[in-house]
A and B are shown apart, each in its own frame.
Chain A
Amino acid sequence: MELLKIKNLSFTYPNCDKKALDGIDLSIEKGGFYLLCGYTGSGKTTLLKLLKPETAPFGEKTGEIEYSDVFGSEVSPFDIGFVSQDPNEQTVTDKVWHELTFGLENMGLSKKEIRLKTGEAASYFGIAEKFNCSTDSLSGGEKQLLTLAGAVVTNPKLLILDEPTSQLDPITAVSFIDTIRRVNRDFGITVIIAEHRLEDVFSLADRVIAMDAGKKIACDTPENVCSLLKDSRLFMGFPSSARIWRDSGSSGRCPVSVREGKAFIKEIFGEHIAEYVPEKSEINESPEALNVKGVWFRYEKDLPDVLRDFSLSVKKGEIFGILGSNGVGKTTLLKVLAGLNKPYSGKIRVFDKKIEDYKRGALYKSCVALLPQDPKTVFIKSTVREDLEDILINCGAKKDDARKKAEETAAGFGITELLGKNPYDLSGGERQKCAMIKLLLTDPEIIMLDEPTKGLDAYSKNRLIELLNSLKNEGKTIIAVTHDIEFAAAVSSRTALLFDGELIAEGEPREFFKANTFYTTAAYRIANENIKNAVFCSEVCAAVKEYTGKNE
């Protein structure tokens, strides 16, 4: 049964020449699980927001959205639940219970009904024990779960989620997606979810809707969408198994999960075991940029240690990737390395000089820079231009020179058109790039990055990798902490795993990922039984091609 039908929908924002949506036709079946994918700026969010009358943006709209009879004569706000990216913006009240009751209170239900419904919802979503806590005490994942519960408790017909996991770590993200899937299966609530990270959600979807530049370019089952979009630039963000399938000749049905990918490789290789022969990597013989020895750190006297006898050595011109799960202390570690948190024992030397000997901010002048998880915190002015000029003046430039240099730098990085914009109006990828450029204006030798891929789409991620590589070639040292395994594998010259306050495994990416079972790339998990040494999709594909070429 059809839940709603979108007919030739186009949308243009005020003061904008380009259409955000261009002639979308779509039919949403009741009880379906729809995955909406596309890059930032493809119109995903606009489409999702238009589906719910209360969130519909201002602008010029043509075409129609026809709601079926299920919704009655008028679509009430309780019929369509909406969950967006940032859990902080969505939490309205200060108590968990109040967050759950908020929608029900708005419906005007009686106290008794509300008590029953919230009790049920809290139990179903496993937040019963947090019921009386303040919302502020929840983790990001719990907050997002609470938002979902708050949306589901009013018994909606349609649930819309706009990149709900982009601020979560991969493991929390997977369990969140599972919960959504459960809601979809248990109650038959129709789900439309937009996502960047497709690895896990792709195979769960009944239908995948692909969008590019405001147009719908596909809407079909996951396998069929893969075949349809073989040559699209969107494919870059598709699951590893699909990319391996495409790049090794796209024969047969497309595998869309690791399990299917494994079967796909097995079918080709059978019992044969191939080996990928990597190029010899150069040995970095540069001097040490950062040396950490026996560092202990905790926040307060009676709290547990976050870093325990932590040691690390990073050479100049390296990209050092540090992996670790949530709450293991990655951000704390970076702050210790950047001199923001002071360890109570141990030594940190930056370019062979003790970190304490850098007085009065000398550490942050042409030496160390830290890109925080949330790039919004980097900006303190109302336009990107002002921010760039501000940092240059802070570094000692004159006003005119600062203006000129800011413009030159912007042109160099291709962000001239962003200069006049407010940092809050930029997309995640753009904002991060501008933050990075602001950081680079202090001319740092060591750049530290905290979760740099958070919320980025595949395209922006690739651009970031290019930028980091070019910085590396200039001789900059980069230390990145991340839980994005694919990113760490692609960019780092050495990788380590942070666990229980110290680095427990460390080595070149290939060696590192080969030795791991859980913390390794999807490509390796797909192919490790048949192809030795292959860690990336491209390597798996090369091995597949070589093998099939030989056999023909």
Chain B
Amino acid sequence: MNKKIISYLIVFLGIPAVVLLGNTVFSGVKYVWFMIAVSVLSTVPFVISFEKKEHSVTYLLLIAALTALSVMGRLIFVAVPAFKPVTAMVVITAVYFGPEAGFLTGAFSALLSNFYFGQGPWTAFQMAAWGLIGFVIGLMRNRLKQSRALLCVAGAVSGVVYSLVMDVWDAIFADGTVLWSRYVSFLATSAPFTVIYAVSTLVFLLLLEKPIGKKLQRIKDKYGI
């Protein structure tokens, strides 16, 4: 069996298995544990398959630059709350370089930006959230490349998903268990941010997708990557 398939299996079968197993072994309150375990586990197969493959130095450095750029985006727009290009950058990378690069840029952006904004147990969760957004977008890239409208929708949805997922973290982290009323209250307080987040992702996609595409194309032409 192909390595790729194994790593996909780990992601799509292994993670639910860990969750279910944990549910029966542990008493039902250790959701925080699940979240951390799941997020850490979901990044592992990507990193393993990435380490095993052959990559040109230029590819690695472009990923590094795109990661740094999305962190920069978080810093540059620091004055405008929730208006951040990170998700847009992850989506664009995924569309141009595929699922692997999408995952790496997403996960590394989370890890790296927390060197500035503070590391913590939430880092693993954030890495998984952004990473998987990049991965899923990367899988759909051929479709998304054809239709700009679809790309925009995917971008906005990614923005919303990210925000919703991070609310899950906040809610479960507070109680150690699933409390719907808590989650709803978090959703309500963060709703305006979620909206700005989705809109900003959309705006950044519209504004940046073409120029970055052009620039990447130029790099491909000029340096033959």
Q: Which A residues have a C-beta under 8 Å from some C-beta of B?
A: 58, 382, 422, 425
Q: In whole angstroms, what is the CA distance A319 to B224 when docked?
A: 46
Chain B positions 191-224 with a Cβ under 8 Å from a chain A Cβ: 211, 214-215, 218, 222, 224
Q: In whole angstroms, what is the CA distance A422 to B218 when docked?
A: 9
7 A-B contacts, Cβ less than 8 Å apart? A58-B224, A382-B211, A382-B214, A382-B215, A382-B218, A422-B218, A425-B222
Q: In whole angstroms, what is the CA distance A228 to B224 when docked?
A: 42
Chain B hits for A422, CB < 8 A? 218
Dominant SS at the B interface? helix
**Minimum distance in angstroms from A54 CB to a CB of chain B:** 11
Q: In whole angstroms, what is the CA distance A382 to B222 when docked?
A: 13
Chain A hits for B222, CB < 8 A? 425
- Closest-by-CB residue of A relative to B224 is A58
Chain B hits for A382, CB < 8 A? 211, 214-215, 218
Q: What 7 pairs across the A-B complex have the smallest Cβ distances? A: A382-B214, A422-B218, A58-B224, A382-B218, A382-B215, A382-B211, A425-B222
Interface band, chain B:
under 10
Q: In whole angstroms, what is the CA distance A425 to B215 when docked?
A: 13
Q: In whole angstroms, what is the CA distance A382 to B213 when docked?
A: 12
- Closest-by-CB residue of A relative to B61 is A92
- Closest-by-CB residue of A relative to B222 is A425
Q: In whole angstroms, what is the CA distance A422 to B222 when docked?
A: 11
**Minimum distance in angstroms from B56 CB to a CB of chain A:** 13
**Minimum distance in angstroms from B74 CB to a CB of chain A:** 18
**Minimum distance in angstroms from B115 CB to a CB of chain A:** 11
**Minimum distance in angstroms from B127 CB to a CB of chain A:** 20
- Closest-by-CB residue of B relative to A380 is B211
Chain B hits for A425, CB < 8 A? 222
Q: In whole angstroms, what is the CA distance A425 to B218 when docked?
A: 11
Q: In whole angstroms, what is the CA distance A363 to B214 when docked?
A: 33
Q: In whole angstroms, what is the CA distance A382 to B219 when docked?
A: 12
- Closest-by-CB residue of A relative to B223 is A58
Q: In whole angstroms, what is the CA distance A486 to B215 when docked?
A: 39
Chain B hits for A58, CB < 8 A? 224
Chain A hits for B215, CB < 8 A? 382
Q: In whole angstroms, what is the CA distance A382 to B218 when docked?
A: 9
Q: In whole angstroms, what is the CA distance A382 to B211 when docked?
A: 8
Q: In whole angstroms, what is the CA distance A14 to B45 when docked?
A: 41
**Minimum distance in angstroms from B61 CB to a CB of chain A:** 9
Q: In whole angstroms, what is the CA distance A422 to B219 when docked?
A: 11
Q: In whole angstroms, what is the CA distance A421 to B211 when docked?
A: 16
- Closest-by-CB residue of B relative to A382 is B214
Q: In whole angstroms, what is the CA distance A382 to B221 when docked?
A: 14
Q: In whole angstroms, what is the CA distance A58 to B218 when docked?
A: 16
Q: In whole angstroms, what is the CA distance A58 to B211 when docked?
A: 27
- Closest-by-CB residue of A relative to B211 is A382
Chain A hits for B214, CB < 8 A? 382
**Minimum distance in angstroms from A75 CB to a CB of chain B:** 19
Chain B positions 118-156 with a Cβ under 8 Å from a chain A Cβ: none
**Minimum distance in angstroms from A61 CB to a CB of chain B:** 16
Chain A hits for B218, CB < 8 A? 382, 422
**Minimum distance in angstroms from A386 CB to a CB of chain B:** 11
Q: In whole angstroms, what is the CA distance A422 to B217 when docked?
A: 13
- Closest-by-CB residue of A relative to B217 is A382
- Closest-by-CB residue of B relative to A381 is B211
**Minimum distance in angstroms from B196 CB to a CB of chain A:** 25
